Amino acid sequence: MDEINVLQGVLNGLTCAGWYVLVAVGLSLVLSIMNIVQLSHGEIYMIGAYVVYYFCVNLGISFYLGFVIAVLASGLLGIVLERVFFRPFRGKPDQALVLSIGLILVFQNIVLAIAGGTPKSYRSPFEGVVKIGSLALSTERLVIIIAGFVLIGALFLFIRFAKNGQAMLAISQDREGAALQGININRLSAIAMFVGCALAGVAGGLVGALFTLTPTMGATVLMKGIAVIILGGLGSISGAVLGGLIIGLIDGLVPVVTSSYMASLIGFAIVILILLFRPRGLWGHE
């Protein structure tokens, strides 16, 4: 019986891991390419979920169409944010951070004004339950795990093999050196924001079906994302995956024994320990 609970906890943990990694990778990408802590990243996730809700429930068209539009819209929003708000403050990370705090208020207020404060919910078309032995995992959770790991795998391949990906790597290692080699930092910052925000939109669209939507739903996700990238190492994609797995498994397994509150507390304690003994994170360099 216990063993089954633990395995079930692992499955839930993997779901959380897929979810957190999708959000954290965007934060990490923006941090390493643009040297900006984008605190309104959680709101991009929230907007992704609301766009799906709008197409799914308000217009009653289809989840899939809504999902595609949500991902594109989040990505484009990312490009706009980069161009309008973050590009003028390159090299002034403090001011960019405060601006992103302002954006939190803007996005929350706009969604609140349009959609209202009452919690919303929609159903994804991934119904049913997958059974493995005596373990059960709902299909929509399975989709999150798969989407998380497939997309992050694709991002790895992009960074490893595509020319733009290699350029991103170069910028994250040495911004000025990369610029001197003729790498267009403006264009790559826009690409990084597009990819990062689109991934947050994917997370929002898929995870939104599991919970209710509120305009403030981004805050929790932001906290998880920050924990993940500190744990894994700031600005490292592989670190974000490792950190996402650890924080995800804690959130899946600890509630089996005690409560989800303890899971948050343990996650926090681990972050503090990492900061004390290995501030560059588990996977970080320098």
Partner 1 sequence: MSSRKAAGFGATILLVLALVLVGLFVKGPYILHVFILIMMRVVLASSLRLINLSGQLSLAHGGLVTLGAYTSALLAMKLGFSTWLALLVAGVLAGLVSCLIGFPFTRLKGIYFTMVSIFFVQIIVLTVQQWRGLTGGASGLYNIPRPDGFWGIEFKSKTSFFFLMLIVMLASLLIMWAIERSRVGMTFLGIRQADSLAESVGINTTGFKVLAFSIGGFFAGLVGGFYAHYVSALDPTAFGFLFTIYILIYMIVGGAGAFAGPIIGATLLTVLPEVARPLESYMPFVFAAILMLIIFLMPEGLVGLPQRLNRLFRKTAKDQADVAG
Q: Which stretches of the chain bind partner 1, using CB under 8 A?
A: 35-37, 39, 85, 88-89, 93-95, 97-99, 101-106, 108-110, 112-113, 219-220, 222-223, 226-227, 230, 234, 259, 261, 264-265, 268, 271-272, 275-276, 279
Instruction: Provide the minimum distance between the beta carbon of 21 and partner 1 in the complex, in angstroms, as a whole number.
Output: 18
Instruction: Provide the minimum distance between the beta carbon of 136 and partner 1 in the complex, in angstroms, as a whole number.
Output: 28
Instruction: Provide the minimum distance between the beta carbon of 41 and partner 1 in the complex, in angstroms, as a whole number.
Output: 11
Q: How many angstroms separate the Cα of 179 from the Cα of each of 34, 91, 93, 166?
A: 13, 14, 19, 13
Is 107 within 8 Å of 99 (Cβ atoms)? Answer: no
The nearer residue to partner 1, 23 or 142, going by C-beta atoms, is 23
The nearer residue to partner 1, 154 or 272, going by C-beta atoms, is 272
Residue among 93, 82, 88 nearest 188 (CA):
82
- Residue 165 C-alpha from the chain's centroid: 19
Instruction: Provide the minimum distance between the beta carbon of 89 and partner 1 in the complex, in angstroms, as a whole number.
Output: 8
Instruction: Provide the minimum distance between the beta carbon of 119 and partner 1 in the complex, in angstroms, as a whole number.
Output: 16
The nearer residue to partner 1, 165 or 225, going by C-beta atoms, is 225
The nearer residue to partner 1, 98 or 150, going by C-beta atoms, is 98
Is 194 within 8 Å of 67 (Cβ atoms)? Answer: no
Is 46 within 8 Å of 213 (Cβ atoms)? Answer: yes
Is 96 within 8 Å of 78 (Cβ atoms)? Answer: no
